[in-house]
Amino acid sequence: MKKRIVSGITATGNLTLGNYIGSIKNLVIKQNEYDIFMFVADLHGITLPIDPNELRENVRKQLATFIACGIDVNKTKLFKQSDIQGHTEMFYYLTTISNEGQLKRMTQFKDKLIKNNNKTEQIPLGLLVYPILMAGDILLYNAEGVIVGLDQKQHLELTRDLAIKLNSKYNLNFKIPEPIISSFGSKIMALKTPTKKMSKSDSDLNETIFLLDDPKVAKEKIMTSLTDSENKVYYDKDKKPGISNLLTILSVIKGITIEECVNEFKNSNYKEFKKSVAEAVAELLETIQKKYYSLTDEDIQNALDKNRNKIQQEASLNLEKVMKGFGMR
Ligand code: TYM
């Protein structure tokens, strides 16, 4: 039996090169080997206020982008989170075995709290409990592994913790899911501030490469990204965060090691090196966009319909187990 993997991306903003390298690319590579359940997390998308039309548009764009990046619905079970009944119910059962302390320790929550001047009363409760919804997404399919970038590791630890509690308290046998985080590219950094994560919600658009950026604009973003004054290409994350980030991006896109990349550019200046990175990124975006713009609404609907019943069956099966465990059945 193939190992089962779950992965999701929140339906806020446009997908970035960070999402591609940290998550989508790995799912595309692993779809031959694993039984993958991949979804657009629209329920996670309403954690913070969002215009309903924008949310709908984000969901459509993300699904099309996944397919354009190489997600194949003949291999991967692709879906929209809210289409499958059970995510919010699984979430509720898990809240009963979670505690506030654990949730308040989540780095992502603490970051948002700081941005909100530490005023907890004004933070939507959804933001605090969001990691439980994520744990529910994973346990609903009884996954063995979860493909994510480094920023989601802490949420995975909570999921594992909840799975262990669920099993021991209610005599169940859910798998304890392992995080699958690639050793390179699991944290792509912002272009102008390479000490922070590249993010789809960054207010400065020049920090981020979006997969639907005009390739010329993307090239410009790479050419003007922040580096250092040494003008020598080598990998040192602490001393040279900008160059190291570009090396990571290039090595992942080209499918070569950092050493091979460094070797290729050891006699180049930054301008030459950046030009090569810019070209590789632009080429990747062109390939993705060519497919993206050829997809129709019907193609996307067909992709969603393809495995809907199988996905729902699996979700219902696991939800029933939990309901039985809790005494509802
Ligand atoms: P989200 O939408 O913030 O990010 C989606 C995926 O992309 C990865 N990622 C990155 N990887 C490398 N470098 C970056 N700069 C970068 N930015 C984002 C994230 O680690 C993630 O893997 N809570 C999740 C979505 C989710 C989920 C799930 C994931 C909901 N339920 C169940 C797995 C399983 C989130 O907000 O990811």
Per-residue pLDDT of the chain (329 residues; tens, 9 = 90+): 899 999 999 999 899 999 999 999 999 999 999 999 999 999 999 998 999 999 999 999 999 999 999 999 999 999 999 999 999 999 999 999 999 999 999 998 898 888 877 777 788 899 999 999 999 999 999 999 999 999 999 999 999 999 999 999 999 999 999 999 998 899 999 999 999 999 999 999 999 999 999 999 999 999 999 999 999 999 999 999 999 999 999 999 999 999 999 999 999 999 999 999 999 999 999 999 999 999 999 999 999 999 999 999 999 999 999 999 999 99
Q: Tell me the angle at which helices 297-306 and 52-69 cross, rounded to the nearest 10 degrees.
A: 80
Q: Which residues pair with 35 in a beta bridge?
A: 4
Is 115 in a helix, a strand, or coil? Answer: helix
Which residue minimizes the CA distance to atom 14 of ligand 1? 18
Q: Where are the alpha helices (DSSP H) in 70-115?
A: 87-95, 100-104, 107-115
Instruction: Tell me the CA–centroid distance for residue 184 and ligand 1, in Å.
Output: 15
Give the strand pairing for 77-80 and 178-180.
unpaired
**Residue 143: φ, ψ to 5°:** -75, 150
Hey, which of 23, 43, 184, 246 would you mutate to test ligand 1's pocket, going by the most ligand atoms within 8 Å of its Cβ? 23
Task: Fill in the amino acid letter for 75.
Answer: K
Kindly write down the DSSP assignment for every residue of 190-206, as one continuous string: PSSSTTSB--TT-SSGG
State the burial class of residue 262 (Cβ atoms within 10 Å of its Cβ: 0-12, 13-18, 19+): middle
**Residues framing ligand 1 (Cβ under 6 A):** 6-10, 18-19, 21-23, 41, 44, 134, 137-138, 146, 148-149, 151-152, 186-188, 197-198
Sheet of strand 4-10, all strands in order from the earlier edge strand to the far edge: 77-80, 35-41, 4-10, 145-147, 178-180
Distance 149 CA to ligand 1 centre (A): 6
Distance 191 CA to ligand 1 centre (A): 19
Which helix (H) or strand (E) segment holds residue 80: the answer is strand 77-80
Residues noted as catalytic: 112, 197, 200
309 CA → ligand 1 middle, Å: 25
Q: What is the pTM of this model?
A: 0.96
DSSP string, 277-300: HHHHHHHHHHHHHHHHTT--HHHH
DSSP 261: H
